[in-house]
A and B are shown apart, each in its own frame.
Chain A
Amino acid sequence: MGIIKASKLVFDYIRRDEEENIEETDRAIDGLSVDVEKGSFVAVLGHNGSGKSTLAKHINAILVPTEGTVWVSGMDTADESKVWEIRKGAGMVFQNPDNQIIGNVVEEDVGFGPENIGVPTDDIWKRVDESLKAVGMTAFRYKSPNKLSGGQKQRVAIAGVMAMRPECIVLDEPTAMLDPDGRKEVIRTVTELNRKEGITVILITHYMEEVIGADRVIVMDEGKIVMDGTPREVFSRVDELKEYRLDVPQVTELAYELRKGGADMPAGILSIDEFVESFMAAMGGTEA
């Protein structure tokens, strides 16, 4: 069993009227099973309402399953006595950078998590120093969060999670409200944490460019996993992705279109360099 495992997970959002009678149930996750290997970088894609954010909230025990089970580091998230242990081990970064920073000074915000779990003062400082360094925000430690850019705020939020020394970070559309620079900044930071510190990363997004570096891409639709594989495998199925209302990077689409037009191009091209090399090879082929 990996660090995160879900088995036949079902989650219903339930709306009740004033008398607490069930008025409407909305199935957000529908019998989903998944197993995430420790230390991997997993990207979860899906359009709004596909259930990806709901899944994310299960990993941090913010939501507990209606049916089925979720284990995080072997702990059942439905076990209330384990809630803080689970949240300590699986940190979460949310979409809106403003609404998750609590401290009025960057370093104090990073210290917030360790304070909550009762880490001794000297140790908090050590953790704050390390976490700020890991996300490259040491120079901003005395600043007010209000004076940072969106990307910087998200890096502070990531540092705040890192200071809890988690095994896993779940990022729920962390770049949706950022400009392109901020997006790159956040993805670079997360990738580095995964590579250097061996943190398991679950990145939820609908920007395709962000998932190219992942070890594994999961596509969700209507509360189910509909595609699961390496980026190359998933991106070689362009038509399917479009059916699930998702984009593909322009190079991937272009290579796919050329293949359809009879060109000898490999499937699932992800980068510009790869495209150029493959195209030149195809050109060579026509010459010969």
Chain B
Amino acid sequence: MLREITIGQYYPVDSVLHRMDPRTKLFGTMVYIVSLFLADNVWCYLAAAVFLAAVIRLSHVPLSFMVRGLKAILFLLLISVSFNLFLTEGEELFRIWFLRVTREGVRMAGFMAVRLIFLVVGSSVMTLTTTPNQLTDGLEKSLGFLKKVRVPVHEMAMIMSIALRFIPILVEETDKIMKAQMARGADFESGGLVQKAKSMVPLLVPLFISAFRRATDLAMAMEARCYHGGEGRTRMKPLRYAGRDYAAYLTYAAYMGVMLALRTVF
């Protein structure tokens, strides 16, 4: 049943965003992140919020899925908020024991929290509307210029895509080996840290061997199917920009314009 796990968090519905070219979404996410770091007043954040809300609506993904990613950064969020809250110099509002809370601190902490939340939700929009494969394709194509400086972009994308295919298989295999060793009396739960680390050997060695065997098999299968690197390769699903992508780029420009204007005006 572990095979049911999907890697990434793609939410399969149909929307303009789902159909958009992955490169457009990647670029959009970058634009949005930059804009969050440019924002330095309430109006900027308001514009960012409106933009995000509009995009979420367009994506047809329920909001609950968007905020799910926040759980993972809750700890980070708390730390950065408290650092900003207590360590910013300025006009004192009140004091808890030796900790001074300043007006500037509250403002910074608030901005920091909003920035982090928007950042996480903003990038979830991308991962929720783009399959891992499309993302890999998009990255390969967008980073294509790096090939000129001999970065193996195609190979890296191929590795990512193969990893995506084999992670669920290896997860299932881990479960199987774990059970097999438990049937031989293994105990993966009790004991101290050292003991636990030791008990992992009978799990990790077979897993590593299996991964290696699969890699050898796969390399042979790929070669048998004439794979010889990215050169001379055609694509079954080449990335092509459509009208919606150009519209998106225009929207990005407009959004950046508004952001910069708000930054200078206020």
* Chains A, B in direct contact (C-beta < 8 Å): yes
Binding site for B on A (CB under 8 A): 60, 62, 84, 87-88, 91-92, 94, 96, 98-105, 107-108, 111-121, 124-125, 128, 145-147, 160-161, 164
Which residue from A92, A108, A116, A120 sits with its C-beta under 8 Å from B227? A116
Is B3 touching A112 in the complex (CB atoms < 8 A)?
no
Which residue from A100, A107, A111, A164 sits with its C-beta under 8 Å from B221? A100
Contacts of B131 in A (CB 8 A): 104
Q: Which of B126-181 contact A (CB under 8 A)?
A: 131-133, 161-162, 164-165, 168-169
Is B236 touching A121 in the complex (CB atoms < 8 A)?
yes
Contacts of A112 in B (CB 8 A): 222, 225, 227
Minimum Cβ distance to chain B for residue A154 (Å): 12
Which of B14-22, B188-196, B212-220 lies on the face that meets chain A? B212-220
Is A91 touching B225 in the complex (CB atoms < 8 A)?
yes
Q: Is B238 an interface residue (CB 8 A)?
A: yes
Is A102 touching B3 in the complex (CB atoms < 8 A)?
no
Bound-state CA distance A84–B220 (Å) is 14
25 A-B pairs with C-beta separation under 8 A: A62-B220, A87-B226, A88-B226, A91-B225, A94-B217, A99-B218, A100-B217, A102-B161, A102-B165, A102-B225, A104-B133, A104-B165, A108-B133, A114-B234, A115-B234, A116-B226, A118-B233, A118-B234, A120-B234, A121-B234, A121-B235, A121-B237, A125-B236, A146-B165, A164-B225
B136 nearest in chain A by CB position: A104
- Knowing A115-B235, A146-B169 are in contact, say whether A99-B227 is a contact too (CB < 8 A): no
Q: Is B228 an interface residue (CB 8 A)?
A: yes
Bound-state CA distance A120–B133 (Å) is 20
Is A91 touching B3 in the complex (CB atoms < 8 A)?
no
- Knowing A104-B133, A104-B161, A145-B165 are in contact, say whether A119-B221 is a contact too (CB < 8 A): no
Contacts of A102 in B (CB 8 A): 161-162, 165, 218, 221-222, 225
Is A160 touching B234 in the complex (CB atoms < 8 A)?
no
- Knowing A60-B224, A84-B228, A147-B3 are in contact, say whether A98-B169 is a contact too (CB < 8 A): yes
A-B interface contact total, Cβ < 8 Å? 94
Bound-state CA distance A15–B131 (Å) is 44
Minimum Cβ distance to chain B for residue A239 (Å): 37
Which residue from B164, B217, B220, B234 sits with its C-beta under 8 Å from A104? B164
Contacts of B214 in A (CB 8 A): 96, 98-99
Q: Is B243 an interface residue (CB 8 A)?
A: no
- SS of A interface (majority): helix
Q: Is B232 an interface residue (CB 8 A)?
A: yes
3 cross-chain pairs, A with B, having the tightest CB-CB distances, nearest first = A111-B236, A99-B217, A100-B221
Q: Which of B16-73 contact A (CB under 8 A)?
A: none
Bound-state CA distance A91–B226 (Å) is 9
Minimum Cβ distance to chain A for residue B163 (Å): 10
Which residue from B222, B224, B234 sits with its C-beta under 8 Å from A119? B234
Which residue from A100, A105, A113, A124 sits with its C-beta under 8 Å from B133? A105
Contacts of B226 in A (CB 8 A): 84, 87-88, 113, 116-117, 164
Is A94 touching B234 in the complex (CB atoms < 8 A)?
no
A161 nearest in chain B by CB position: B225
Bound-state CA distance A118–B233 (Å) is 5
Contacts of A60 in B (CB 8 A): 224
Is B237 touching A108 in the complex (CB atoms < 8 A)?
yes
Which residue from B162, B217, B237 sits with its C-beta under 8 Å from A96? B217
- Knowing A98-B214, A108-B237 are in contact, say whether A91-B165 is a contact too (CB < 8 A): no
Contacts of B234 in A (CB 8 A): 114-115, 118-121, 124
